[in-house]
Amino acid sequence: MSSTMPVPPKSSIAEERANPSFPVRELTYWIDGGRRVTELKERIMLELERDPLWRVSDHPNLSLAETRERAMSKIRRLADLATSRPLEETMIRMSIISVVDPGFWTRFGVHFGLFFGALQGQATPSQMAYWMDKGALSMQGITGCFGMTELGHGSNVAGLETTATLDEKVDEFIVHSPTLTATKWWIGGAAHTATHCAVYAQLIVKGQCYGTKTFVVQLRDTKTFALMPGVNIGDLGKKMGRDQIDNGWIRFTHVRIPRSHMLMKHTKVTRSGEVIEPPLAQLAYGALIQGRVSMVSDSANVAKRALTIATRYASVRRQFGGSASGAAETKLIDYPIHQYRLLPLMAQTFAMIFTAREVTANYEKLMGELSDLGEAKDAAADDVIKNLKETHATSAGLKAFCTWMCLNIIDQCRQSLGGHGYSAYTGLSQAYSDFAVHCTWEGDNTILTLQCGRYLVATALDARKGQPLPENLSYLKGAVSATGGLSDRACKGGSTEQVSSLDTLKAAWSSVAANAILNAVRDFEAGLAKGLAKDDAYEFSSASRLHAARMHTYTYLLHRFAAQVDRSPAALRPVLTLLAQLFGAHSAVQHSGEFLQAGFYTGPQIETLKGFVSHACSEIRKDAVSLTDAFNYTDYVVNSPLGRFDGDVYEKYFELVTSLNPAKPVPYFDSLIRPLLERTNETEAGPELEIDEE
* DSSP string computed for 636-684: HHH--GGG-TT--HHHHHHHHHHHHS-----TTIIIIIHHHHH------
CA 271 to chain centre: 42
200 strand-pairing partners:
214
Asked whether the beta carbons of 191 and 218 are under 8 A apart, the reply is: no
What is the per-residue burial (b if ≥16 Cβ within 10 Å, else e) of 93-118? bbbbbbbbbbbbbbbbbbbbbbbbbb
**pLDDT reported for residue 1:** 45
**pLDDT reported for residue 107:** 92
3-class secondary-structure state, position 51: coil
Q: How many CA atoms lie within 13 A of 105 on its CB side?
A: 21
Active-site residue flag, 442? yes
**pLDDT reported for residue 356:** 95
Q: Which burial class, exposed, middle or buried, applies to 578 when counting CB atoms under 10 A from its CB (0-12, 13-18, 19+)?
A: buried
Asked whether the beta carbons of 396 and 292 are under 8 A apart, the reply is: yes
Q: Are strands 172-176 and 231-235 parallel, antiparallel or unpaired?
A: unpaired
Q: Which portions of the chain are predicted below pLDDT 50? A: 1
Angle 510-512-513 from CA coordinates, rounded to 5°: 65
Stretch (H or E) spanning 252: strand 248-252
CA distances from 80 to 119, 138, 154 (A): 20, 7, 33
* Radius of gyration for the chain, computed over Cα atoms and rounded to the nearest angstrom: 29
**pLDDT reported for residue 282:** 61
Tens-digit pLDDT profile for residues 329-388: 899 999 999 999 999 999 999 999 999 999 999 888 888 887 776 655 666 777 888 888
**pLDDT reported for residue 690:** 72
Helices (H), 3-124: 9-16, 24-32, 35-50, 64-84, 87-100, 102-109, 116-122
Catalytic residue among 161, 390, 442, 594: 442
Task: Return the closest-CA partner of residue 350 out of 35, 99, 685, 579.
Answer: 579
Stretch (H or E) spanning 276: strand 275-276
Rounding to the nearest 10 degrees, give the CA dihedral for residues 119, 120, 121, 122: 40
Task: Return the closest-CA partner of residue 638 out of 231, 317, 306, 245.
Answer: 306
What secondary structure, in 3-state letters, does 1-37 show?
CCCECCCCHHHHHHHHCCCCCCCHHHHHHHHHCCHHH
Handedness of CA 23, 28, 34, 35 (dihedral sign): negative
Q: How far apart are CA 328 and CA 205, in angstroms?
A: 78
Q: How far apart are CA 619 and CA 614, in angstroms?
A: 9
Q: Are strands 196-205 and 163-167 parallel, antiparallel or unpaired?
A: parallel
Asked whether the beta carbons of 457 and 518 are under 8 A apart, the reply is: no
Task: Return the closest-CA partner of residue 628 out of 312, 413, 298, 344.
Answer: 312
3-class secondary-structure state, position 239: coil
Q: Strands, DSSP E only, in 130-243?
A: 144-147, 163-167, 172-176, 184-187, 196-205, 208-218, 231-235
Q: How far apart are CA 384 and CA 373, in angstroms?
A: 8
For the entire predicted model, the pTM comes to 0.93
